[in-house]
Structure 1
Amino acid sequence: MRYTLRQLEVFLACAHHENVSRAAESLNMSQSAASAALKEFEQQFELRLFERTGKRLRINELGRQLWPRAEELLERAQELEQTLATHRELGSLKIGATLTIGNYLAASVMARYMEEQPGTQVQLEVANTAAIAERVLNFELDLGLIEGEINHPDLEMIPWRRDELVVFCAPSHPLAERKRLADQDLINATWISRESGSGTRQTFDRAMSGLLPHLHILLELQHTEAIKRAVETGLGISCLSRVSLADALKRGSLVELQVPQRDLRREFYFALHRQKYRSAGIKRWLELCRQA
C-alpha cells in the first residue's frame, strides 16, 4: 500500500482547517511533519489536492472527490482499532441535534446508548438545523437529528417521527379565552419567534404562508426556554413544538391556542452524509431513536 492512514489523517485535517498549522495542532504533530506528510501523499500519486493561497489551503475538486472516501476509510480503521482495543462492538459518537430534539429527546437516547456500552463516549452538540446540517456535510458530526427540511445532494434525510407546533400564550393573555383564532387574530398579535435557520422557524413560516409580511414579530430568540419565559411574562404569543411545551401546558403556566386553519405538522429527520460509513454505533443509535 503506497499511502498510510497518517497521511489520510493529515489530508482530512487540512481539508477541515484549511491551514497546515491548525491541522498539525489538531493531530498533535509538528507543522513540518504535517507538511511533509501531505507533500509526500500528493507526490506519491502525482496529484494536487489543495490550492495554496499564502498559509491558507483551499481544497480543489479532486480533493473534494477524495474527501468522503478518505473519511469512510479512516472511520473503518478507527472502528477496527477500537474493537481490537476494547472488545466492544459500538464506538464513540458525535451527535448533532436541533434545540427541541437536543433539549427534550436526545438525552434519554444517549443514556440508553451509554448504558449498553459502559465507557463509550457520546458528544452531543445542540444547534439550529442549518448549523447541524453544515457540520454533518463537513464530516464533523456522525449524524444529525433535525427538525427542518434540508435539500442537499450529499445529505440523506431519513424520516424519524412526527411532530407538530403549537401556538400558545400566557393564561392572562387576552387571547387565552378564545376557542379558536382567526387569521386576523394572528395578524393583530405580537409574536415571540425562533430565529431564521431553525427548523421550528421553517415550519412556522410555511404554516403562516400569506400572513408572514403582516405578522408583528417583536423578538427572535434562539432558545425555547427563553421564548416560553417571554410568553409567560405576557410579551406576546409564540409557536413551538408540542414536545417542548408538554410540561408547561400540563401545569397551566401556558395555554394552547387553536389555529385549525393552519397546518403546523412536521417531521423529525435523521441527517447523514451519503458517503458516511454506517458504523455499528450509528446503526444502534438509529435503532434506539426509533424505539424511544
Structure 2
Amino acid sequence: MRFTLRQLQVFVAVAQHESVSRAAQSLALSQSATSTSLTELERQSDCQLFDRAGKRLALNALGRQLLPEAVALIDQAREIERLLGGKSGYGSLHVGATLTVGNYLATLLIGSFMQHHPECRVKLQVHNTAHVVQQVAHYELDLGLIEGDCQHPDIEVQPWVEDELVVFCAPQHPLAQRGSASLEELTHEAWILREQGSGTRLTFDQAMRHHPRNLNIRLELEHTEAIKRAVESGLGIGCISRLALRDAFRRGSLMPVETPELDLRRQFYFIWHKQKYQTAAMREFLEQCRALTTGVSRSDQIVLPPIV
C-alpha cells in the first residue's frame, strides 16, 4: 500500500476542519508534519483531494468519495489496535443530542453505559437539531439523538420513541384550576417559548399553524429550565416536552394545561451517517436505548436507570 493510516487520519482531520492548522491541533501534531503528511498522500496517489482557496481547504469530488471509506478504515483500525493490545472492551463513543433528549435522557443513558463499560471513552455534545445533523454529516459524531426533523441525504434516520409537548402554567394561574384551555383562550395569554429554530418551537408552531391570530410571546429562551423558572415566576405560560416537566408536575410546582385542539406529538430519532462504520460501542449503545423504551408509548413514561 502506498498510504499509511496516519496519512488517512490527517486527511480526515483536514476534511473535517477545512484547515491544516486546526487539523494539526486536533491531532496534536505540528502544522508542518500535518501538511507534509497530506502532501505525501496526494503525491503518492498522484491525485488531488482538496480544492484550495487561500487557507481554506474544501473536499473535491474525489475527496468526498474517499472520506467515508477513510473514516470507516480508521474506526476499524482502532478496534484492531485494541484487540492486539489485549483490550476486549470498547474504545470510544461520541454522541450528539438535542436539548430535551440530551438533558433528560442521554446523560443518564450514557452514565448507565459507562457503568457497564468503564473502559470506554464517551463524549456527549448537546446542541440544537441542525448542529447535531451537521456534525453527524461531517463524521464528527458517531451518532445523534434528535427531536427535530432531518432530511439530510447522507444520514440514516430511525424512529426511537414518541414525545409530546404540553402547555403548562404556575399553580396560581387561573388555567391551573381548570386544567384545560381552548385555542381562543390561549391567544389571550402571555407565552414563554423556546427560540425559533429549535425542534420544540418547530413542533409548537406547526401545531398552531392553522390558528390565524398572533400569540403574545413575552419571552423566547434557549433552555427548558429557564422557561420552567419563568413560568413558575408567573411571567406567562409555556409549552415544552412532558418529559422535561414530569418531576415538576409530580411536585406540583407547575401544572399541565390540556389542549385537545392542538396536536403536540413528535418523534425522537436516532441518526448516523449512512456510510459510517458502526463500532461495537455504537451498536451496544443503540441496543441499550431501544431496550430502555421497549413497551413505552411516550418519552415521559420511560423509567430511567439509576446512576450509583
TM-score bin (small chain): over 0.9
Q: Answer yes or no: is the 8 Å Cα contact 1:19–1:55 preserved in 2.
A: yes
SS at match of 1:21: helix
SS at match of 1:188: coil
Correspondence 1:20-59 to 2 at 5 A: 20-59=20-59
Residues 213 and 91 from structure 1, CA distance in 2 versus in 1: closer, same or farther, beyond 3 angstroms? Answer: farther
> Cα offset for 1:177?
2.3
1:148 and 1:40 map into 2 onto residues whose CA distance is 42
1:231 and 1:86 map into 2 onto residues whose CA distance is 54
1:46 and 1:149 map into 2 onto residues whose CA distance is 41
The percentage of counterpart residues that share the same residue type is 55
Partner residue, 1:184: 184
Partner residue, 1:163: 163
> Cα offset for 1:211?
2.9
Letter in 1 for 2:180: R
2:253 and 2:52 map into 1 onto residues whose CA distance is 58
Q: Is it true that 1:76 corresponds to 2:76 in the alignment?
A: yes
Q: CA RMSD in A?
A: 1.5
Partner residue, 1:99: 99
Letter in 2 for 1:61: A
TM-score normalised by the chain length of structure 2: 0.91
Structure 1 residue ranges (4+ consecutive) displaced by more than 4 angstroms after TM superposition: none
1:207 and 1:213 map into 2 onto residues whose CA distance is 13
Partner residue, 2:262: 262
Letter in 2 for 1:99: L
Residues 86 and 184 from structure 1, CA distance in 2 versus in 1: closer, same or farther, beyond 3 angstroms? Answer: farther
> Cα offset for 1:179?
4.1
> Cα offset for 1:212?
7.2
Q: Which moved more, 1:42-51 or 1:280-289?
A: 42-51
> Cα offset for 1:152?
1.0
1:73 and 1:206 map into 2 onto residues whose CA distance is 42
Give the unaligned 5+ runs of structure 1.
Answer: none
Residues 268 and 51 from structure 1, CA distance in 2 versus in 1: closer, same or farther, beyond 3 angstroms? Answer: same
Q: Answer yes or no: is the 8 Å Cα contact 1:147–1:268 preserved in 2.
A: yes
SS at match of 2:47: coil
Partner residue, 2:150: 150
Residues 129 and 86 from structure 1, CA distance in 2 versus in 1: closer, same or farther, beyond 3 angstroms? Answer: farther
Q: Is it true that 1:65 corresponds to 2:65 in the alignment?
A: yes
Q: Is it true that 1:193 corresponds to 2:188 in the alignment?
A: no
Residues 212 and 32 from structure 1, CA distance in 2 versus in 1: closer, same or farther, beyond 3 angstroms? Answer: farther
Q: Which moved more, 1:209-218 or 1:139-148?
A: 209-218
Q: How many residues align?
A: 292
2:36 and 2:127 map into 1 onto residues whose CA distance is 37
1:138 and 1:216 map into 2 onto residues whose CA distance is 39
1:236 and 1:155 map into 2 onto residues whose CA distance is 38
Q: Is it true that 1:271 corresponds to 2:274 in the alignment?
A: no
> Cα offset for 1:144?
0.6
Letter in 2 for 1:96: G
Q: Is it true that 1:242 corresponds to 2:258 in the alignment?
A: no
Letter in 2 for 1:280: A
Letter in 1 for 2:250: K
Residues 223 and 271 from structure 1, CA distance in 2 versus in 1: closer, same or farther, beyond 3 angstroms? Answer: same
SS at match of 2:96: strand
